[in-house]
Structure 1
């Protein structure tokens, strides 16, 4: 069987699965509200406050039980005529072991039935189109090396979260920076650090970006583009105090346009953008984009950037399913998920292998194109917070390696609902304040980090759950009391010898989901005996829990 047939067989399987996911998505969307309302133009003075978190533990996508029927065996032999009209052959990538072998291919490309669309010397990869299928097939058949064509997978900025995903989630508004412990005095944060934003481009005329050093590269060859998404990312990272100040306002930005006006692009162009960013000295590369295809050229670009010393940060995706987008799923990429202002992983965020850390991603106030200010939700915004935090820490810790800076973010992240490293928030939730205070002695900060219900144990009837407490200060905590009240019952617990950073949990039991579908209200209060808590806001938590039937 020719290599083109092998490639096409693999892609048939992949596209079959993608088609199924697409149909499920379309089916769900047909009876939901329009998601466009979740990038809203705002009056900067307006910010909705919720008295308590409403926690439906039933996700419309995560709880969907569907059996997939696929052929038990894919036909191993394909007639080449089946491939002639395939759009797959319009956009392929081909990698080479050496520069010389790539040059040899380029010199003979047309004679072998190919048209070269683009190339990357650093990645030793060619983007091509098959013009003559018979000639191309004969070329691959006679090659003795392992050259194999791959489809140039599509990527895009994550779709905005659908309406039902945001019901009950608490927005950050203008308070996301304060929530993660970023001080107001940070004008010099990020100085000397270059952050590359691979996106739709940036509106350089926005007042929130006045004074920010921004270099532009357009890898799509010009044309009009909606630059709102890229502008929002830039604002979160380096915006000035005329709007919402960024995490690292003194960082310089390298805007590389790899997505068109609809937020769509391809893996090869993104890969070239990553290489360009690394070659231009970007210490942080922000990728608030992704796709479902495991692109070889994109993986090679990530590895190239890491070898150059760049940190690559990417969004896990907004479909609310098990399965992280690429490139966030690759090794050497920091995969970022979203949490709301109650510290809960967003129901729209993808989960699974590849999730490394969480950051604010619900209703974040940020700039948009044409001088707009919007409320922005999604793993895109969460990714920008991580990129900004990395830039700020690199600038203020010049003696640390890039990997050591990443370890700082992981080590001093806040625990999420599920104790320990998990598939939902990875190492935890970004907390810049804890990083800043890590060398300040005798800081007392106890926190209720949430309620965790194991999906495997939610089978109706009596359901166990965990209430978790974390020491987020720098001093040992003793005689810490936790009071939990629900269904008219009050439970009391005492914690001693709680090490800085340590998390402890107590198991409780909930009988039923509440009366008339209203859910069960759980109220918890943490008290430190004889010690002053530096952040009492995280000592209480009130939630209404709705269990699935």
Structure 2
């Protein structure tokens, strides 16, 4: 939505007309990871059948995006800070001899060599005020690349972000039902077998959800590579959503995968581009097939870019968080073309307003109120793009362990079979859509007929408001005929949609009465999609919904 003086925000109250199904209880997002869950009996009560995801649930007020701006996510006015670390530089050299020569020059000049690595013959240095990089380089080897070192950290807390329009921030949490929502079968105990996923974070701690010998650790802080080190709650929660063991209450998407914990962030969740790059290379060299980076920053560090290239050239999939700052651009490394960039949605399929969008966003995944492992036997409620990333990493690990397909193919499958959201096709808010593992698993199964209706969109053209409904074929067969039942303020109509190929979305627009939109009672809309000639295997995602549209001045 645009932030303008006197902006009109269209709100929609949605009530599901699906009887006999209790809905996920609304949960307000408070922070990315912080508060322990209550006792198990206090978790959100969910009886939604397995594999049935409800597009919008409860009586919550949710914003409807303006279609004319749906490709431009809500963003803050200011440009994000690239996070330059004062006095720190990263330089790469032609060979080891030049690297060693430069190290001696730094030390002779009174600078500090913080870290080094064989990859790219790179060196991280710190210079005190009064000592310039030009002085250190004078008469020495010429670097191949150089730049300031940049800050990297876990995504910020998904609280309401300063600069975003004021609106309701209520979302529907997942609790312990996230695997059902994603379409993961009841028995996924062998998913990820033989695949190593590296979690580059603050260090994964001990938890019953990660018991056994599947967890290995590297600690890259303090310029060394250690077999163990400190841990963080954030990293432990991430690893549990990736690989938590069945039966402990926090089952991961790929509980049979091996986890390589690579500590690149400190206890506060802060780190730097050099150490992250070093961690990427170390993880690849240790045999990781997937890299999970629930972290990011807003500066393009050449050393991190080269490390990402090193990984992808060796067939390693890199998955990273889009960021929680409500920006129209992604954080790095998610912003790199080779990286699978992940945003966050709630259990109603709504994109979190703080979830960054922009060119390059790939898929959305659950990221609100997910039950995850904490310290020891504790559990925490985990929200934000940090929580969404391990669910995608786990899905990729599962596919790699089950399929003969290579890394590029499995990443393509997740994009291809995502549930379209927002405008039809790829957009800068939802990318290819919302992760749906079940559709990937069913892709070769014939005879599946499934039509789905997305969340309503509203736009204004020439001063006239229009309602847009997006309908997608989520099955495995051509849908020859879809009937869209529509009732706007008591005026009923039926609209035929014909020959919709597998995976394709179509949009239909309907004119609204602008005078009624500004009235307290608003415009009442009821809609549903039907397959008149075949059986719809998942009727809940297109069942009748009642909608009230009103226009409010903010």
In 2, the alpha carbon distance for the partners of 1:375 and 1:332 equals: 30
Contact 2:65–2:458 at 8 Å: present in 1 too? no
In 1, the alpha carbon distance for the partners of 2:540 and 2:353 equals: 24
In 1, the alpha carbon distance for the partners of 2:75 and 2:338 equals: 32
From 374, 377, 397, give the equivalent of 1:368.
374
From 412, 417, 439, give the equivalent of 1:412.
417
Structure number with the higher strand fraction is 2
CA deviations 1:182-214 (Å, max 9, x no partner) are 11111111000000001122222x222234610
From 106, 109, 121, give the equivalent of 2:106.
109
- From the superposition, tell whether residues 515 and 368 of structure 1 become closer, same or farther in structure 2 (CA, over 3 Å): farther
In 1, the alpha carbon distance for the partners of 2:300 and 2:434 equals: 27
Larger relative contact order (CA 8 Å, sep ≥ 6): 2
Hey, what does 2:182 align to over in structure 1? Answer: 180
Once superposed, what is the RMSD of the aligned Cα atoms? 3.0
- From the superposition, tell whether residues 148 and 442 of structure 1 become closer, same or farther in structure 2 (CA, over 3 Å): closer
SS at match of 2:119: coil
- Tell whether 2:203 aligns with 1:201: yes
In 2, the alpha carbon distance for the partners of 1:546 and 1:100 equals: 69
From 283, 286, 307, give the equivalent of 2:292.
286
Detail structure 1 runs of 4+ shifted over 6 Å in the superposition: 516-519
User: In the TM superposition, what is the alpha-carbon distance from 1:345 to its structure 2 partner?
Assistant: 1.7
Hey, what does 1:54 align to over in structure 2? Answer: 61
Contact 2:208–2:376 at 8 Å: present in 1 too? no
Structure number with the higher helix fraction is 1
CA deviations 1:80-126 (Å, max 9, x no partner) are xxxxxxx9553211122333322331233323453211012113210
- From the superposition, tell whether residues 510 and 379 of structure 1 become closer, same or farther in structure 2 (CA, over 3 Å): farther
- From the superposition, tell whether residues 162 and 486 of structure 1 become closer, same or farther in structure 2 (CA, over 3 Å): farther
Unaligned runs of 5+ in 1: 1-31, 69-86
Contact 2:176–2:249 at 8 Å: present in 1 too? no
In 2, the alpha carbon distance for the partners of 1:509 and 1:39 equals: 45
- From the superposition, tell whether residues 489 and 100 of structure 1 become closer, same or farther in structure 2 (CA, over 3 Å): farther
TM-score by length of 2: 0.82
Hey, what does 1:344 align to over in structure 2? Answer: 350
1:266-415 matches, cutoff 5 A: 266-397=272-403, 399-415=404-420
In 2, the alpha carbon distance for the partners of 1:526 and 1:211 equals: 48
- From the superposition, tell whether residues 408 and 450 of structure 1 become closer, same or farther in structure 2 (CA, over 3 Å): same
In 2, the alpha carbon distance for the partners of 1:212 and 1:527 equals: 50
- From the superposition, tell whether residues 282 and 547 of structure 1 become closer, same or farther in structure 2 (CA, over 3 Å): farther
- From the superposition, tell whether residues 33 and 409 of structure 1 become closer, same or farther in structure 2 (CA, over 3 Å): closer
- Tell whether 2:47 aligns with 1:41: no
CA deviations 1:1-60 (Å, max 9, x no partner) are xxxxxxxxxxxxxxxxxxxxxxxxxxxxxxx9964797452333321675245322479x
Hey, what does 2:221 align to over in structure 1? Answer: 220
Hey, what does 2:116 align to over in structure 1? Answer: 119
- From the superposition, tell whether residues 537 and 146 of structure 1 become closer, same or farther in structure 2 (CA, over 3 Å): same
User: In the TM superposition, what is the alpha-carbon distance from 1:225 to its structure 2 partner?
Assistant: 5.3
In 2, the alpha carbon distance for the partners of 1:38 and 1:135 equals: 41
Hey, what does 1:439 align to over in structure 2? Answer: 444
- From the superposition, tell whether residues 34 and 383 of structure 1 become closer, same or farther in structure 2 (CA, over 3 Å): closer
TM-score by length of 1: 0.82
- Tell whether 2:529 aligns with 1:526: yes
In 2, the alpha carbon distance for the partners of 1:544 and 1:364 equals: 29
